[in-house]
Structure 1
Amino acid sequence: DVTYFNGVEVGRERWDGVRSYRVPAKLLRKGKNVIAVRLLSEWGNGRLGDEASDPYLHSADNQVRISLKGQWKYNGEIEPKLPMGRGYSNNITCMYNTKIAPLLPYGIRGFLWYQGEGNSGQPELYKQLQPTMITDWRIRFEQGYLPFLLVQLPNISGGSCQYFREAQAESLQLPNVGMAVSIDVGDPYDIHPNNKKPVGERLYLRAKEMVYKDSVGVFQGPVYDSFRIEGNKIRMKFKSTGSGLMSKDGKDLRTFEVAGEDGKYVPAKAVIEGNDVLVWSDAVKKPLSARHAWDSNPAVNLYNKEGLPATSFRTNKEL
C-alpha cells in the first residue's frame, strides 16, 4: 500500500501493521486536504484498519489532532485487475508441483501444517481434503506414518470458524497426527496474527511427545471426552487435564451453552468439579446437549493448570 497526501507520496509498506508517516509542512493546504491510499491485494480482500483502530493526523507537538475515522471513498476500478496467470498459487496443482514434488526424493522427519483460512467456509469439504492430503504425502514420501502436526485455526472476528476447527480435529483419527490449539492467541481483526510464539511452543510440546518420545507431561489443553445428564445439568468429562482444570483469569467459566429438545442453545453457567465441568441453565429444564467456545472469536478461559486452553467442541453434532 502507498499513501499520498495531496497527491504526493508520504509512505508505503508491504504487509500488515500500523502505518505512521510524516507529512512535510509544504504539502499542507489551507482548507481541504486529501489523503489517498493505493492498496494492492494479491489475494482475498484488502482492508484499511479495523473496528478498533483510530486513525488520526496530528501536529509534531501533538497540540493539533484530527480524527480520520468515518467513511472513506474508494474506487476499485481505477486500475486494471491484476493478471493471474497459470502459475498463480491457488490454481489446481500449482502449489503441489512447485513446493512438494521437488522434495519427494529426500528424507523427511514430519510435517508442521498451519493453514485453513482460505478453506474455512467449507468445513465439510475440508474433512475430506486434509486427510486425503496427509495420506497422499505419506504414500509419496514412502516413510510410513510420517508425523503430521497441524495448527487449529485461532480466534477471528466474523465467520463460523468453530465448524472448521471441528473439521480440522477430525484428522486426529488418523495415526500419528497431532494438533496445536491456538484459539486463545489470535487477533480478532487479523487473519494472520503476529503472536506465533505460543503456537510454536505448543507444536514443540506435541512433537516432543509424539515424534521424539520425550515425555513432557501435558502437551495439550483439556480435551472433551464424554458427557452425561444429571437432572437439569450436564456433566462433561475431560482428558489431558494435567494438574487440574482451572479458569485462567479466575472468573466464572464462560462460552458454555446448553440446549434442550428444541435445539436452541442458551448461555450456561459452568463450574469445575475435579476433572469434570458441570453446566446448566435455569432456562433449560431438560438439557440434551452442551457446547463450548462455539463461536469464531470466543473468549475462552477453561485451561488446565499447565496453561493450555480447551478448544471448541459440542456434545451432540445433531444439535
Structure 2
Amino acid sequence: MVLQRDTDVRLWGEAKPNTTVRITAGWNLQDYRTNSGKDGKWSISIPTTHAGGPYTLTVSDGTPLTFNNVMLGEVWLCSGQSNMEMPMKGFKNQPVDGANMAVLGSRNPNLRLFTVKRNSSTAPVDDVTGKWSEASPAAVRNFSATAYFFGRLIQDYLDVPVGLVVAAWGGSACEAWMSDDMLKAFPEASANIPPVDGEIKSKNRTPSVLFKGMLNPLIGMSMRGVIWYQGEDNWNRAHSYTDMFSTMIKGWRELWGQGEFPFYYCQIAPYDYSIITEPGKEIINSAYLREAQMNAEKIVPNTGMAVLMDAGWAEGIHPSDKRTPGERLALLALGKTYGVEGIGCESPVYKSMEIKGDTVIVSFDRAPEWIAGKHSFESTQFKLAGEDRVFHPAKAWISRSKVMVRSEKVPHPVAVRYAFENASEGDLFSTDGLPVSSFRSDNWPDDRPVKK
C-alpha cells in the first residue's frame, strides 16, 4: 500500500476487545500504542516521514499482523461515475485510445492501485473489498484509465510513490455519494433516501447508498486530495448541481477532518444527449450542467475544473480519450497543490462582454498569453441574440486577448454564447492548449425565445 507522507496518518481497525494495540512503523522504528474498545475497535494517528520505502507496518494485540511493501508517498482518492470507472481495457465496443501500448509500458512499483468493489447500502458499512497492486500490465488493464493517466504523470514528475484509491460506479448520481445530513438541504433527494433495510430502487442513483456502501469506510484515510469525474447522470438537474456538488465537497472535507484538501474535477465532455432522450421528450441542454460545474469552482476554495470541450464524443457518453482528462487533472494538482512553476494548469474563463454597435467584444480571465484558436484565429462556436432571445450563429474572430463576435441577423445584440449546446466541440484555447469552457453572458432560465 501507499500511506500519505509527511503527515499524521490515521490507522484504524478491530482487535481483541479492551486490549492494548501496538503499532510498529518501519519508517522510523517507533512503537505507538492505543487501546481497543469493548467492541474491539481502535484508532490512532501516527507520524509519517518523507517519501520512501518499502517498509513494514506491524499491528499487534498480542497476535502480530505485519504489512509488507508499504510505501510513503502521495495518496489520492479518485471517484465519480463511468468516465472515472472506465478501465484501461475499455468497455465493450468502447476502447480507450492508446490503451494497449500504455498498459504495456505501465510496470511501475512506485505507482500503487486500489479499486473499491461496487457496493450499494442503506446503512453505513465499515469495510471495503479490494486489494493493493503495484502498477503492471495485468493490474493497469483493469484499473480506471482516467485515474491511471493522472497518477502516472504525478508519479513521473514528483518521483515519489503514488497511491490511487478508486471508488466509482458508472451511471451514479451525485446524490448517491452524499450522506443523509448533506442531503437535508435538497428535499427532492432526501425524500428518496431509503430506510435501513429498505429497498434500493437504483443501486447507483438512489440518494446516499454509495456514500454508505463505498465511501464511508474510507473516511479519515489520510490523503493529499480527491479527483472526481461525474455529472453526466445529473445533466437533467443542472438547476441544483452547483449547490449539491458544493455541499458534497464541503461535507466530505468536514468528515475527513483534514482541512480544505484539494478537490479537482472534470467538466463533463460534449455528448449528444438526444441519443438517450425518449422520443417526444424535451432534449435537455447539458451546457447548463457544465455551467453549474464551472460555478462550483468559483464558490468552493481549493478546487479546480479540467475542461474537456475538445475531448468529447458526440455519439458516445464515454469518450475514448482518457489521457486528456487524467493529465489535465494532474496539471491542476501539479500547478495548484505541488506548486510546479512554468506550466499552465487552469483554462481561461469568460470574464465579461462589451457591446459596440453590432459587435460583441468578449474578455477572459486566466489568459495571460491571450486566447488562441485551434487552427485559425476564428471560432465557429459563437451565437448572438437580441431582445427576442433568439440565438443565431455568429462570426467570431480572435483579436489579441479578446474575441469579437458579430452576426448579420442580430444587429442589436444583447447576449453571447459560446459552444452552449450538448455536443459542441470547443475551438478556443489558452496558449498552453487548455480549452475554454462553454459559457453564456445571459442568465435566461431556458432556451425559449420571448413570446410577442
Same fold judged by TM-score > 0.5?
yes
The CA deviation at 1:307 is: 1.4
**What corresponds to 1:161 in structure 2?**
286
Instruction: State the Cα deviation string for residues 214-241 of structure 1 (Å, max 9, x = none).
Output: 2243213321111111111111111222
Q: 1:242 to 1:17 in 2, by over 3 A?
A: farther
Query: Given the alignment of the two structures, is residue 15 of structure 1 paired with residue 91 of structure 2, yes or no?
Result: yes
The CA deviation at 1:277 is: 0.5
Check the 8 A contact 1:259/1:290 in 2, yes or no: yes
Check the 8 A contact 2:331/2:345 in 1, yes or no: yes
The CA deviation at 1:192 is: 1.5
The CA deviation at 1:174 is: 1.0
5+ long unaligned stretches in structure 2 = 1-88, 96-168, 172-198, 274-283, 446-452
Check the 8 A contact 2:306/2:347 in 1, yes or no: no
Aligned length: 246
Query: Given the alignment of the two structures, is residue 273 of structure 1 paired with residue 399 of structure 2, yes or no?
Result: yes
The equivalences for 1:176-255 within 5 A come to 176-250=302-376, 252-255=378-381
Q: C-alpha separation between the residues in 2 aligned to 1:316 and 1:165? A: 15
Check the 8 A contact 2:312/2:425 in 1, yes or no: no
Q: C-alpha separation between the residues in 2 aligned to 1:259 and 1:87? A: 41
- What amino acid is aligned across from residue 430 of structure 2 in structure 1? N
5+ long unaligned stretches in structure 1 = 1-12, 20-41, 45-83
The CA deviation at 1:318 is: 2.4
Q: 1:274 to 1:252 in 2, by over 3 A?
A: closer
- What amino acid is aligned across from residue 394 of structure 2 in structure 1? A
**What corresponds to 1:104 in structure 2?**
219
Check the 8 A contact 1:111/1:148 in 2, yes or no: yes
- 1:163 counterpart SS class: helix
**What corresponds to 1:23 in structure 2?**
none
Give TM-score scaled by structure 2 length: 0.51
Query: Given the alignment of the two structures, is residue 262 of structure 1 paired with residue 262 of structure 2, yes or no?
Result: no
The CA deviation at 1:108 is: 1.8
Check the 8 A contact 2:378/2:398 in 1, yes or no: no
The CA deviation at 1:115 is: 0.6
- 1:121 counterpart SS class: helix
Equivalent of residue 423 in structure 2, options 269, 273, 297: 297
Q: C-alpha separation between the residues in 2 aligned to 1:89 and 1:120? A: 16
Q: 1:225 to 1:43 in 2, by over 3 A?
A: closer
The equivalences for 1:47-58 within 5 A come to none
**What corresponds to 1:307 in structure 2?**
433
The CA deviation at 1:203 is: 0.7
Larger helix proportion, structure 1 or 2?
2
Instruction: State the Cα deviation string for residues 99-144 of structure 1 (Å, max 9, x = none).
Output: 2111123212111010111111110121221011001001000111
Query: Given the alignment of the two structures, is residue 171 of structure 1 paired with residue 286 of structure 2, yes or no?
Result: no
Q: C-alpha separation between the residues in 2 aligned to 1:219 and 1:105? A: 28
Calculate the aligned-residue CA RMSD, in Å.
Answer: 2.4
- 1:270 counterpart SS class: strand
Query: Given the alignment of the two structures, is residue 116 of structure 1 paired with residue 242 of structure 2, yes or no?
Result: no
**What corresponds to 1:152 in structure 2?**
267
- What amino acid is aligned across from residue 424 of structure 2 in structure 1? P
